[in-house]
Chain A
Amino acid sequence: MSGNTVKVDITVNGEQTSADVEPRLLLAHYLRENVGLKATNIGCDTTSCGACTVLVDGESVKSCTVLAVQTDQRSVTTLEGLSPEGGELHPMAKAFREEHGLQCGFCTPGMVMAAVSLIEENPNPTERDVREGLEGNLCRCTGYHNIVRAVLAAAGQDPDAEQKREAESDASRTAPGFSTGGAGA
């Protein structure tokens, strides 16, 4: 086995960072320990809970399942990078505050980053799109209701109106996690 290190240059929140790292170093640990950004939480450490979600080149990833070397020469954004210190809160963070989209707060950084990526890919999500789009993030407080409302609000929608529409449009909706057999013919 080797103890070799590899030099990485990673743009984190717009700033160049660089270090000699072991190839086995996980991105989550690089961000927390090498760069010192502690907003990114490590929850399950098994790609399940999404607490460690950050953006790599604008797309959400779980940083406990990405090697730091895989993001060499790439751009990483953490929760700290969304809202510059002393400036305005990012619209997603602001919506989480206004809709009270958090309870204990542990899942919040990952939720916000996953939601930013979700809106980037689907700027006009339905309530269902939001719930499905956040399937990779777990809230142990089960505070999903307000989280979903926050994401809808951040996308410029009225959460009350959208939730009413969703409820009326899909009265017989299948429970989450059960396939509705999406298909064509």
Chain B
Amino acid sequence: MIPVAFDYERPDTVDAALALLAEHGEDATVLAGGHSLLPVMKLRLGAPELVIDIGRLADLNYIRVEGDEVAIGAGTRHRDLEASEVLATEVPLLPAVARTVGDPQVRHRGTIGGSLAHADPASDLPAAVLALNGTVVLRSARGERQVPITGFYTGVFSSVKEPDELIVEVRVPRTGAAGWAYEKFTRRSNDWAIVAVAVVDGRVGLVNMGPTPLRASATEAALAEGASIEDAAALADQATDPPADTAATREYRRHLARLLTKRALTTAAGV
């Protein structure tokens, strides 16, 4: 399968990339690792006139502690999240989630910024960042703004990111020793999750239980009020709107959300 022809630019700096986005906006698409974008373009579900390759911007590739948070450059690959010693101690949920994305070849290319920008509700990292109460840093030629992940997604494959904006950083709180777990259910090991559940510090993020990544708010509230894991997990599918497809019915996904939440909470509690 061959994508529709496009123009290609590989800017040397973030500012140059932002200038191109400012000029071309909706006609342009940003390419990082390409492991969400290129399949879309090969299937001709997307046909941008201009592809802006930010894959070599070293300025976007870092993981560093800043105060109570860890700042992760948007160009950081899944493989780098997996192998990061900083994350292993400061935010251990993230390397564990990154390790479940696709397969090693995919993780050698895909980036955290790309995964968040693609806004696929079946993706792992958006729900993990949601469970972490992270922040998305967006930059454009107009300036920079920080958007809490809780307000970032607006629907399937869509977010509040404007066409001239680039995700430059993801910020997550240092959770350290707080209990965490990631439970992902797939039929084949390198597939997207049918449903997955990220738990960290009493917060619960759901993968593929609606048009956007969701928090299991009823579960979180019940836990805060002292409910048992069993009772709290039974509420995990409340206020969700899971899709039905060839992999699972809606009701099966609801079942998985409850079951995986129970498992994840149990693991996170060290029970």
Instruction: Write the residues of chain A forming the contact surface with B, with a CB cutoff of 8 angstroms.
Output: 1-4, 6, 22-24, 26, 45-48, 50, 53, 56, 59-62, 65-67, 69-70, 72, 114, 117-118, 121, 132-133, 135-137, 176-179, 181-185
Q: How far does the Cβ of A37 sit from chain B's closest Cβ, in whole Å?
A: 18
Q: Is the CB of B8 within 8 A of A176?
A: no
Q: List 11 A-B contacts (CB under 8 A).
A: A2-B7, A24-B4, A53-B105, A60-B108, A61-B109, A65-B34, A66-B38, A70-B31, A121-B104, A177-B191, A181-B264
Q: How far does the Cβ of B234 sit from chain A's closest Cβ, in whole Å?
A: 19
Q: Is the CB of A1 within 8 A of B182?
A: no
Chain B residue nearest to A73 (CB atoms) is: B56
B24 at interface by CB-CB < 8 Å:
no
Q: Is the CB of A61 within 8 A of B108?
A: yes
Residues A69 and B190 in contact in the complex (CB < 8 Å), given A2-B49, A50-B103:
no
Cα(A179)–Cα(B179), bound, Å? 18
Q: Is the CB of B38 within 8 A of A177?
A: no
Chain A residue nearest to B37 (CB atoms) is: A65
Bitwise, B8-19 to A at CB < 8 A (1) or not (0) is: 101000000000
Q: Is the CB of A24 within 8 A of B2?
A: yes
Q: Is the CB of A176 within 8 A of B267?
A: no
Residues A3 and B53 in contact in the complex (CB < 8 Å), given A69-B10, A132-B189, A181-B183:
no
B268 at interface by CB-CB < 8 Å:
yes
B252 at interface by CB-CB < 8 Å:
no
Residues A45 and B1 in contact in the complex (CB < 8 Å), given A62-B105, A183-B181:
yes
Q: How far does the Cβ of A76 sit from chain B's closest Cβ, in whole Å?
A: 13
- Which 6 residue pairs are nearest across A and B when measured between Cβ atoms? A136-B103, A185-B270, A23-B8, A183-B181, A183-B267, A135-B189
Cα(A38)–Cα(B189), bound, Å? 29
Cα(A61)–Cα(B49), bound, Å? 26
Partner of B105, one of A26, A61, A182: A61
B187 at interface by CB-CB < 8 Å:
yes
B263 at interface by CB-CB < 8 Å:
yes
